[in-house]
Structure 1
Amino acid sequence: MFTVISRLLDGDAPAAYVNKQDSPEAQSSSAEVQDPPQATPSPQYPRRIRYVPIPGWPESTFRVPDPVPEGHIYYIRKGDYIRRGATALVERLPTGHIAKTPLPNPYDPEGEQRVRQNMEHEYDVYCFIGSSPFIPKLINWDSKSKILVLEEYANGDLETYLRNHHDADADTRRKWALQAAQALESLHVVGVIHQDITPRNLLLDKNLDLRICDFAGSSFPGHAALTGAPGSRYQSRAWDRGYIPTQADDIFSLGSVLYFIMGGEEPYSKLDEEEVERCFEKLDFPASGHLGCGTVIQDCWDGRFTTAEQVVQALVQAGETNRV
């Protein structure tokens, strides 16, 4: 086992599919990724995975314990911890740029390969889109380790920022609403379906301008998505395995994002995921008339828009804001 972990620390081993958590430890379920129930783990697979960072010291200073505690996976820290997603560890490098590293997991070789494929797929999406004012700039890609490096976004993701800044003014919120719609429009016009439009996948730069990120679950012409689902608050219904999301699904998700931007909380934030799913399937959406761009939000949910461009036009025509 020490040999396996040492290989992981050198960056040679593939990464594993794990559930999305922002804490150092992973549980066995996730509301973000929709897959059929998994079989009971084999005795060799721990019920809890814990990722333990080490600062890259020489072996004389630090050695991985032998035997390795059950479920512990050691990795060399590259910078300051930001969060851990379903497939990658996100860190801020000393340069300020953001590194996404596939999560190592020697307990699930097939999952490891799947996650590495997801990371490479995300890189391919960035290359396909090219330069855009609405996506982060790609700084570097390591084809061996599958590490993706993106430009820094000083104010982090929109979800975290808004939860910490309840006093964001109306003009700023309207700007974000329009920029979110414009970002989605920029993807759809080149044939990219994002499939995970949520506030956590919108980044804010030093000027509080918005960009869209996280394309591991996105599809683009000739390349189907490998995984991805935004969660019940951002879907009109649950997606069965094999379902192919469309632009309409992204637009529905955008409606929920606009609701979060203007109101500061997710749709039906006090209900559990299953209750939200039942409400949405019955076309029972939360009231939004009291919010800025409330009509646009409802039209996203009701399927009245066929393109993201129409959402942009509706925001402008409603007088909520001007193009930025």
Structure 2
Amino acid sequence: MADKYVPTYQVNYPDGAKFLTIGGSGLIYIFPSNAAEVLKVPSTNPRTRHNHAIERRIYERLGTHPNIIKCLRMDDYGIYLERAEHGCIRQYFLDGGTATLRERIQWSLDIANALQYVHEHNIRHADLSGRNVLLDSSRKVRLCDFAGSAIDDDKATVWAESGFRHPDDDEVKHSTIRAELHALGSTIYELCTFSQPHGREVEEWIVGQWIREGKYPSVKEVILGDIIMKCWNGGFASAKEVAQSIKQESGNIFAR
């Protein structure tokens, strides 16, 4: 019975599924008989179920992309997703994981390309950060968690965390490209430094206040630092432009 206990809400899940973790967008189950997939199940909370329905629509539209976690199938229980062995990149770093210079640049490029693909399908992620970037067994990054994202005329019901969220509330409310690219800059910062903007030690409300005041962490010694700052300052018009700049900077770095 212990495996079936969920501390927050009663949910339905198939026989053989084992509870793994709970997050803001649902509960995650694994299958001992199949380590390659996980099941994302909504709770009975109305907002969670609404966000889950949005995520279903988004996965149906997105199809397959090499840097977006693959949706294997859906049924009445929930959404079955490809399992990323190393979990989210933030926890990977917190657990002592590391990455080479080449990997960090490649991961930044891959997430920029994935975000561009999402935008081309009239979707805005709205909550981009290292907690929604997974690392798979082949050490490729995969964007995940579209529960509550914006699609077509449906506004997002989630928003990025402090340090990633755009300082202008109107940009956040409407899930604008500027807001998305601001979060992309912070995500690249996290991929390159193994740390969130202003770190984990500072309380979220303080980080949010600093960002609203234009106080960003120094990127002078950070790889891709100029690109990160340009994302924060609204200097890019699209994630595609960010990806192109990363490619160019990568060529410069490895040509030295």
TM-score (norm 2): 0.87
- Residue 126 in structure 1 maps to residue 59 in structure 2: yes
Return the alpha-carbon distance in structure 1 between the equivalents of residues 9 and 241 of structure 2: 47
Query: CA offsets per residue over residues 184-233 of structure 1, 9 Å max, x none?
Result: 111112221100101111112211111111111211224333x1011111
Identify, as 1 or 2, the structure richer in helix. Answer: 2
Letter in 1 for 2:30: R
Letter in 1 for 2:226: T
* 2:85 aligns with one of 140, 154, 162: 154
In structure 2, the residue matched to 1:99 is 39
The offset of 1:79, in angstroms, is 3.5
Query: Residue 277 of structure 1 aligns to a residue in which SS?
Result: helix
Query: Between the two proteins, what is the percent identity of the paired residues?
Result: 26
Return the alpha-carbon distance in structure 1 between the equivalents of residues 221 and 20 of structure 2: 34
Query: Residue 100 of structure 1 aligns to a residue in which SS?
Result: strand
Return the alpha-carbon distance in structure 1 between the equivalents of residues 117 and 25 of structure 2: 25
In structure 1, the residue matched to 2:70 is 137
Q: Which has the larger radius of gyration?
A: 1
Return the alpha-carbon distance in structure 1 between the equivalents of residues 243 and 197 of structure 2: 21
| 1:134-283 pair list within 5 angstroms | 134-142=67-75, 144-145=76-77, 147-225=78-156, 227-237=157-167, 239=169, 243-269=173-199, 270-283=201-214
* Count of aligned pairs: 247
Flag structure 2 segments of 5+ consecutive residues without an equivalent.
none
In structure 1, the residue matched to 2:236 is 305
Runs of 4+ in 1 over 6 A off after TM superposition: none
Return the alpha-carbon distance in structure 1 between the equivalents of residues 10 and 242 of structure 2: 46
TM-score (norm 1): 0.70
Q: Is the 8 A contact 1:247 1:307 kept in 2?
A: yes
Query: CA offsets per residue over residues 60-97 of structure 1, 9 Å max, x none?
Result: xxxx9xxxxxx875667754443211131112223121
In structure 2, the residue matched to 1:287 is 218
- Compared with structure 1, are the counterparts of its residues 102 and 238 closer, same or farther at alpha carbon in structure 2 (3 Å cutoff)? farther
Query: Residue 295 of structure 1 aligns to a residue in which SS?
Result: helix
The offset of 1:167, in angstroms, is 3.4
Query: CA offsets per residue over residues 14-49 of structure 1, 9 Å max, x none?
Result: xxxxxxxxxxxxxxxxxxxxxxxxxxxxxxxxxxxx
Flag structure 1 segments of 5+ consecutive residues without an equivalent.
1-52, 57-63, 65-70, 105-111
Q: Is the 8 A contact 2:129 2:187 kept in 1?
A: yes
- Compared with structure 1, are the counterparts of its residues 87 and 285 closer, same or farther at alpha carbon in structure 2 (3 Å cutoff)? same
